[in-house]
């Protein structure tokens, strides 16, 4: 029994109606275009629409093809990275039936227990029938989609360990009551948090491909627009969403088009060199920064509809791709953001 | 809809009558919350446990529709109690899964009352914030996946006595009203039936765009950063209009809303306002803003020179006015009125209050009061259990282990029977995955690093006083069982005189024998302190750096003389502190407060205390605040 307002809250604030915050929107779009970029971390002030943006994302994603009857929503086109059922089915019979399903954007709520995150034995069945059955958890539900953790810095340590492990391997392994289940769990990790309220472990930080910092808008015009739209939304969520539908469709089309273009977007040798130079100048750890930078720049080029990655794209994504990887202060985004900017300016001119 | 006519309107009586503003305000807040509690989030009620508070809560309850849930939320309610979970006994009894809704879900369409809210633990803060934002509880616990509506409002009873005892900022941000309760509510103003009428009217109340713009401008002028604040002020103005029997928000409603919602959040005096003619806070009145930390990343200009500082970033008052002109708003007067309304509500001793506002904003980032917290499996205060292995000294929580094992007993017994195991079968079958271990939380010790400028410029006059200040701080450290370290810099460079030690007597001695004189290699001193602070962090302790200097550097990092380079280097060294988020305190030892030292403190992200004005009280309070901050 939901009251009217609760139904209303079920309609998320439209992504396209978010005022400003271009860095954040770009990072989220990049993750939607090329999931292999590896997740987005959004940190910043209170009340800047961090969670609003992520929750609005679901409405923007074009539906995806999935195997009918597969509880993990396996990709019919994928040869590897299928669940055991699909692999078995493929080996034995004709190609499976497919249908279109919405891309999952799964919330990992605070206070979630481990059994619900990784999946466990189905309690209901164990209690009522004494039967052993696996009940997939949030990681399974997020397969091929997004896993969103609000207040990621407040997440319990053991859940963090678990997420790091699964995010790295793309596979979730559950051993319980003599039951051994492994299933694919490839998802884009999206986290948001306020660094004032707790630090983020460097290992988890490193799992995020892009990191953006959001600030409260400072000009009056912008603030008035934020308040005006939010107020309109709160008064009539459905009407407001309807008003922004055209815009949302446009963004969805852009994502679809960019995904198609992605494979044909060239990465010239010069761009690769540029990215390597930038990473060297900043002394980022490992190759992950380099790779993410190139991938993000390519997604950015695809989004802009350009045939090849140029310096402009690298410049645009350098901050989000690198600022959380600088060795000295992995947790301080404000300072490292400036360092990235400086390095970019030195390399490519102001 | 035939709303009873509300003439003479009770709230217009309120606007006119300055008789006992607080009691009228308390009663108005109760009425507004009874009208649109979930929309406004609720109230932070700052008062000790007293009959006044009980009266106010009774007033609120009386105005709510009958059967509105009104639940007490215990401070140490576990996640299970708050969010809900498996009802184990019912599930075992019925042989199927039975959920136990948590307090958030039980309070749907109603109220939660949180006592001692200034001590609310971090996990509860986050869960309350999530519920206030989304109006639902998403449950992924103990084999259950559920979504409950939770359209709740919160009364946070803040019993904090000191400025640094505050609700967590994240929670405060989501509660429309911050109400100090100093006199009792005025009961006669509204009746339950007035509210029933207003409740019907509320959805139709319209909001003119000019009011919206003016409220935004007022919030900017008062230095309220959060975007939730103007939104809540607008919601509040709608509720006021509905309460007044109006269909449109008027200027009076807006100014009352600004006064109720924005004034308590003000972080600065609007630049164009004249300084208030009221008793100034005692020692630092000449530079009222000197210890005020500018909001992160933007420089709030001191109020007295703002009108001619035309090139400042957006946040100064004159730029606000510029943007008004851009928008061609016909309503400069309206904003002026709103700002005035807010200022009128700011209690006497405004600068002190605003300064305190800065301070508690800083302190409230800290969840614990003393030392940062770290989780441990062995020592400290128990904070619950989690599934885990019994290794590296973890302690088993028997009850939770059995709880985890309970639902599976039937199934396990079947299995055991099927396997026809030899020997007697235990009555309860516990397996490795049931093990729950205790989690403890312990305070992280703090180490105070003293960085003492022993150069000629500072030392000759002031070193004795600086030493006195350090002794005072050492006494504080002793009380808290903290460690101390001493770094001194003079002449050629910096030196760690005393590595972190618990022997405060040694710290005192090493200072007493400190020779003075020579140049001021400030950058080297700061670098050395930074290295030491990082080392302390790595050891799992929280450093607090106390720098005693006049800020007048004259030796660069490489030892070459020259004020300009030396200052640049010092600022660069100072920046590292801010970047690393190291809590720091800068005590200006010069005879007059120096702009250089202030700039240095700002660059470091340090609290600035000019020694001439810092009495024993001021110093120890500043250190207390700083250590509270280091706990974040």
- What is the crossing angle of helices A288-304 and A269-282, to 10°? 130
Nearest alpha carbon to residue B220 among B292, B293, B319, B305: B319
Summarize pLDDT for B518-533 with one digit per residue, the tens.
788 888 888 889 888 8
Residue B66 confidence (pLDDT) = 82
Task: List all residues of chain B from 357 to 416 with a beta carbon under 8 Å from chain A.
Answer: 365, 367, 375, 386-388, 407-408, 410-412, 414
Around Cβ B137, how many Cβ atoms within 10 Å? 25
Place of tokens 């006059």: B461
B594 shares contact with chain A (CB less than 8 Å): no
Residue pair B439/B382 in contact by the 8 Å Cβ criterion: yes
- Residues of chain A with C-beta less than 8 angstroms from the C-beta of B136: 6, 9
Tell me, rounded to whole angstroms, the distance of Cα A325 from its chain centroid. Answer: 18
| Alpha-carbon distances, residue A134 vs A178, B128, B431 (angstroms) | 11, 32, 17
Summarize pLDDT for B193-245 with one digit per residue, the tens.
888 888 888 888 888 888 888 888 888 888 888 888 999 999 999 999 998 88
H-run or E-run covering B418: helix B409-419
Q: Residue B343 and residue B270: Cα distance in Å, rounded? A: 9
Place of tokens 């106010």: B56
Q: What is the mean pLDDT of residues B330-357?
A: 59
DSSP-based three-state secondary structure for A134: strand
Q: How many CB pairs under 8 A join A and B?
A: 195
Summarize pLDDT for A311-350 with one digit per residue, the tens.
889 988 988 888 887 764 433 444 567 778 877 887 777 5
**CA distance, residue A153 to nearest chain B CA (Å):** 11
Summarize pLDDT for B283-293 with one digit per residue, the tens.
333 333 333 33
Tokens of residue B358, six digits: 């800065």
Q: What percent of chain B has pLDDT over 90?
A: 3
A222 shares contact with chain B (CB less than 8 Å): no
B317 shares contact with chain A (CB less than 8 Å): no
User: If DSSP states are collapsed to H, E and C, what string results for B471-518?
Assistant: HHHHHHHHHHCCEEEEEEEECCEEEEEEEEECCHHHHHHHHHCCCCCC
Task: List all residues of chain A from 117 to 136 with a beta carbon under 8 Å from chain B.
Answer: 117, 120-124, 126-128, 130-132, 135
**CA distance, residue A56 to nearest chain B CA (Å):** 13
ipTM of the predicted structure? 0.83
Of A1, A9, A115, the CB nearest to B135: A9
- CA angle in degrees (0–180, nearest 5) for B167-B131-A30: 105
- Residues of chain A with C-beta less than 8 angstroms from the C-beta of B169: 46, 196
Cβ distance B219 to A110 less than 8 Å, yes or no, reads no
List phi, psi (to 5°) of B582: -80, 130
pLDDT band at A254 (very low <50, low <70, confident <90, very high): very high
The answer to whether residue A288 is catalytic is yes
Q: What is the mean pLDDT of residues A42-65?
A: 81
Q: What is the mean pLDDT of residues B303-330?
A: 38
Residue A260 confidence (pLDDT) = 92
Q: What is the mean pLDDT of chain B?
A: 72
List phi, psi (to 5°) of A276: -65, -45
Q: Residue A205 and residue A33: Cα distance in Å, rounded? A: 21
Summarize pLDDT for B61-114 with one digit per residue, the tens.
888 888 888 888 888 888 888 888 888 778 777 777 888 888 888 888 889 999
pLDDT band at A1 (very low <50, low <70, confident <90, very high): very low
What is the DSSP-derived secondary structure letter of residue A266? Answer: B
Nearest alpha carbon to residue B606 among B631, B591, B588, B632: B588
| More confident call, B612 vs B338 | B338
Q: Residue B585 and residue B543: Cα distance in Å, rounded? A: 11
Cβ distance A156 to B386 less than 8 Å, yes or no, reads yes
List phi, psi (to 5°) of B500: -50, 130
Summarize pLDDT for B395-409 with one digit per residue, the tens.
777 777 777 787 777
Tokens of residue A322, six digits: 């690198």
- What is the crossing angle of helices B350-363 and B616-630, to 10°? 40
Residue B352 confidence (pLDDT) = 52
Strand partners, A220: none
Summarize pLDDT for A199-252 with one digit per residue, the tens.
666 667 777 889 888 888 888 888 899 999 988 998 888 899 999 999 989 999
Summarize pLDDT for A115-140 with one digit per residue, the tens.
888 888 787 777 777 777 888 889 98
- Residues of chain A with C-beta less than 8 angstroms from the C-beta of B205: none
| More confident call, B277 vs B379 | B379
pLDDT beyond 70 at B14 = no
Summarize pLDDT for B411-444 with one digit per residue, the tens.
777 777 777 656 666 777 787 778 887 776 656 6
Cβ distance A126 to B298 less than 8 Å, yes or no, reads no
Q: What is the mean pLDDT of residues B355-363?
A: 39
User: If DSSP states are collapsed to H, E and C, what string results for B312-376?
Assistant: CCCCCHHHHHHHHHHHCCCCHHHHHHHHHHHHHHCCCCHHHHHHHHHHHHHHCCCCCCCCCEEEE
A157 shares contact with chain B (CB less than 8 Å): yes
Of A177, A216, A231, the CB nearest to B212: A231
Tokens of residue A261, six digits: 């273009």
Residue pair B486/B452 in contact by the 8 Å Cβ criterion: yes
**CA distance, residue A126 to nearest chain B CA (Å):** 6
What is the DSSP-derived secondary structure letter of residue A308? Answer: B
B92 shares contact with chain A (CB less than 8 Å): yes
Q: Residue B605 and residue B533: Cα distance in Å, rounded? A: 15
pLDDT beyond 60 at B297 = no
Antiparallel, parallel or unpaired: β B607-610 and B583-588:
parallel
Q: Residue B564 and residue A211: Cα distance in Å, rounded? A: 36
Cβ distance A223 to B212 less than 8 Å, yes or no, reads no
Query: Cis (ω within 30 of 0) for the bond into B8?
Result: yes
Q: Residue B384 and residue B79: Cα distance in Å, rounded? A: 10
Q: Cα dihedral angle (A184, A190, A194, A197), rounded to 10 degrees? A: -10
Set A116, A182, A288, A328: catalytic member = A288
What is the DSSP-derived secondary structure letter of residue B396? Answer: B
Of A115, A176, A224, the CB nearest to B212: A224
Residue A46 confidence (pLDDT) = 66
Q: Residue B177 and residue B198: Cα distance in Å, rounded? A: 19
Antiparallel, parallel or unpaired: β A105-107 and A146-150:
parallel
pLDDT beyond 90 at A297 = yes
Task: List all residues of chain B from 318 to 347 with a beta carbon under 8 Å from chain A.
Answer: 320, 323-324, 326-327
Residue B457 confidence (pLDDT) = 64
Helix, strand, coil percentages in chain B from 3-state DSSP, rounded to 5:
50, 15, 35
List phi, psi (to 5°) of A45: -60, 165
Alpha helix (H) residue ranges in B41-164: 51-63, 79-83, 88-94, 103-106, 122-134
A71 shares contact with chain B (CB less than 8 Å): no
**CA distance, residue A306 to nearest chain B CA (Å):** 35
Of A109, A126, A221, the CB nearest to B140: A109
Summarize pLDDT for B552-601 with one digit per residue, the tens.
888 887 777 788 888 888 888 888 888 777 888 888 877 777 788 888 88
Strand partners, B437: B386, B396
- CA angle in degrees (0–180, nearest 5) for B43-B138-B135: 35
| Alpha-carbon distances, residue B150 vs A119, B263, B309, B600 (angstroms) | 26, 29, 48, 48
Q: Residue B134's closest chain A neighbor by CA? A: A9
| More confident call, A161 vs B488 | B488
Cβ distance A227 to B126 less than 8 Å, yes or no, reads no
Summarize pLDDT for A173-194 with one digit per residue, the tens.
888 767 788 888 888 888 888 7
B116 shares contact with chain A (CB less than 8 Å): no
pLDDT band at B304 (very low <50, low <70, confident <90, very high): very low
Residue pair A162/B142 in contact by the 8 Å Cβ criterion: no
Cβ distance B226 to A45 less than 8 Å, yes or no, reads yes
Q: What is the mean pLDDT of residues B134-148?
A: 84
Q: Residue B109's closest chain A neighbor by CA? A: A3
A239 shares contact with chain B (CB less than 8 Å): no
H-run or E-run covering B212: helix B209-221
Residue A257 confidence (pLDDT) = 93
């Amino acid at each position: 029994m939901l009251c009217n307002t609760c139904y209303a809250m079920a309609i998320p604030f439209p992504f396209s109606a978010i005022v400003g915050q271009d860095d954040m929107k770009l990072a989220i779009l990049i993750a939607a275009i090329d999931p292999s970029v590896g997740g987005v971390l959004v940190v910043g002030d209170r009340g800047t629409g961090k969670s609003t943006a992520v929750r609005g994302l679901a409405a923007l994603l074009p539906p995806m093809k999935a195997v009918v009857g597969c509880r993990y929503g396996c990709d019919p086109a994928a040869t590897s990275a299928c669940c055991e059922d699909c692999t078995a089915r493929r080996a034995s019979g004709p190609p499976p039936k497919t249908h279109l399903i919405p891309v999952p954007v799964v919330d990992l709520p605070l206070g979630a227990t481990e059994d619900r995150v990784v999946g466990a034995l189905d309690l209901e069945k164990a209690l009522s029938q004494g039967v052993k059955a696996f009940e997939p958890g949030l990681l399974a539900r997020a397969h091929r989609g997004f896993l969103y953790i609000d207040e990621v810095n407040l997440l319990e340590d053991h859940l963090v360990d678990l997420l790091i492990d699964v995010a790295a391997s793309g596979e979730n392994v559950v051993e319980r009551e003599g039951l051994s289940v492994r299933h694919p769990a490839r998802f884009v990790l999206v986290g948001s948090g306020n660094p004032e309220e707790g630090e983020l472990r460097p290992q988890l930080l490193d799992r995020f491909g892009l990191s953006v910092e959001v600030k409260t808008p400072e000009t009056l015009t912008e603030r008035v627009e934020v308040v005006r739209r939010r107020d309109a939304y709160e008064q009539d969520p459905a009407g407001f969403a309807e008003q922004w539908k055209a815009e949302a469709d446009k963004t969805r089309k852009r994502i679809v088009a960019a995904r198609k273009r992605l494979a044909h977007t060239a990465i010239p040798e010069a761009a690769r060199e540029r990215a390597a130079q930038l990473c060297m100048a900043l002394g980022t750890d490992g190759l992950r920064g380099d790779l993410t930078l190139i991938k993000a720049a390519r997604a950015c080029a695809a989004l802009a509809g350009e045939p090849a990655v140029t310096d402009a794209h690298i410049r645009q994504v350098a901050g989000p791709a690198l600022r959380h990887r600088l060795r000295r202060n992995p947790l301080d985004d404000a300072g490292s953001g400036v360092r990235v900017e400086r390095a970019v300016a030195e390399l490519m001119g102001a | 809809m035939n709303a009873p006519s509300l003439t003479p309107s009770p709230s217009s009586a309120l606007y006119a009558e300055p008789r006992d503003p607080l009691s009228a305000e308390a009663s108005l807040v109760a009425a507004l919350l009874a009208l649109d509690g979930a929309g406004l989030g609720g109230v932070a009620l700052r008062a000790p446990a007293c009959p006044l508070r009980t009266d106010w809560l009774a007033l609120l309850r009386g105005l709510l529709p009958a059967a509105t849930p009104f639940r007490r939320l215990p401070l140490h309610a576990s996640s299970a109690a708050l969010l809900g979970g498996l009802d184990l006994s019912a599930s075992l009894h019925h042989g199927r899964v039975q959920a136990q809704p948590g307090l958030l879900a039980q309070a749907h369409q109603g109220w939660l009352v949180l006592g001692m809210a200034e001590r609310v633990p971090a996990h509860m803060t986050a869960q309350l914030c999530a519920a206030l934002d989304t109006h639902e509880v998403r449950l992924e616990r103990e084999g259950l996946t559920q979504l409950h509506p939770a359209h709740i409002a919160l009364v946070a009873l803040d019993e904090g006595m000191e400025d640094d005892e505050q609700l967590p900022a994240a929670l405060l941000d989501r509660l429309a009203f911050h109400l100090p309760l100093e006199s009792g509510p005025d009961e006669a103003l509204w009746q339950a039936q007035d509210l029933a009428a207003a409740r019907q009217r509320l959805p139709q109340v319209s909001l003119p765009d000019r009011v919206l713009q003016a409220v935004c401008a007022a919030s900017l002028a008062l230095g309220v950063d959060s975007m939730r604040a103007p939104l809540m002020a607008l919601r509040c103005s709608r509720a006021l209009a509905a309460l007044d029997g109006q269909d449109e928000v008027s200027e009076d409603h807006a100014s009352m809303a600004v006064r109720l919602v924005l004034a308590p959040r003000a972080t600065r005096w609007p630049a164009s306002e004249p300084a208030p003619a009221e008793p100034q806070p005692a020692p630092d009145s000449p530079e009222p803003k000197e210890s005020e930390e500018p909001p992160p990343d933007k420089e709030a200009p001191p109020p007295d020179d703002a009108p001619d500082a035309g090139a400042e970033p957006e946040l100064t008052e004159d730029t606000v006015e510029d943007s008004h002109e851009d928008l061609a708003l016909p309503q400069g007067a309206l904003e002026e009125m709103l700002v005035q309304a807010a200022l009128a509500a700011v209690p006497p001793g405004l600068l002190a209050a605003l300064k305190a506002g800065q301070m508690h904003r800083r302190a409230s980032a800290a969840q614990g009061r003393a030392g940062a917290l770290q989780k441990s499996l062995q020592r400290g205060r128990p904070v619950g259990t989690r599934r885990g292995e019994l290794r590296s000294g973890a302690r088993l929580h028997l009850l939770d282990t059995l709880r985890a094992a309970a639902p599976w007993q039937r199934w396990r017994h079947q299995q055991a029977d099927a396997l026809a195991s030899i020997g007697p079968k235990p009555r309860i079958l516990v397996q490795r995955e049931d093990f729950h271990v205790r989690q403890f939380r312990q305070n992280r010790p703090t180490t105070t690093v003293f960085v003492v400028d022993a150069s000629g410029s500072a030392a000759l006059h002031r070193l004795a006083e600086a030493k006195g200040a350090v002794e005072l701080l050492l006494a504080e450290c002793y009380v808290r069982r903290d460690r101390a370290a001493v770094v001194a810099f003079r002449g050629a460079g910096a030196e760690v005189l005393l590595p972190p030690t618990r022997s405060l007597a040694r710290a005192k001695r090493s200072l007493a024998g400190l020779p003075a004189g020579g140049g001021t290699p400030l950058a080297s001193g700061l670098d050395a302190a930074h290295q030491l602070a990082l080392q302390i962090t790595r050891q799992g302790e929280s450093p607090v750096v106390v720098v005693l200097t006049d800020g007048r550097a004259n030796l660069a990092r490489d030892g070459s003389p020259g004020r300009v380079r030396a200052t640049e280097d010092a600022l660069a060294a100072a920046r590292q502190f801010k970047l690393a988020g190291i809590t720091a305190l800068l005590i200006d030892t010069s005879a007059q407060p120096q702009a250089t030292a202030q700039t240095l403190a700002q660059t470091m992200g340090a609290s600035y205390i000019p020694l001439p004005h810092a009495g024993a009280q001021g110093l120890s309070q500043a250190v207390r605040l700083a250590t509270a901050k280091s706990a974040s």
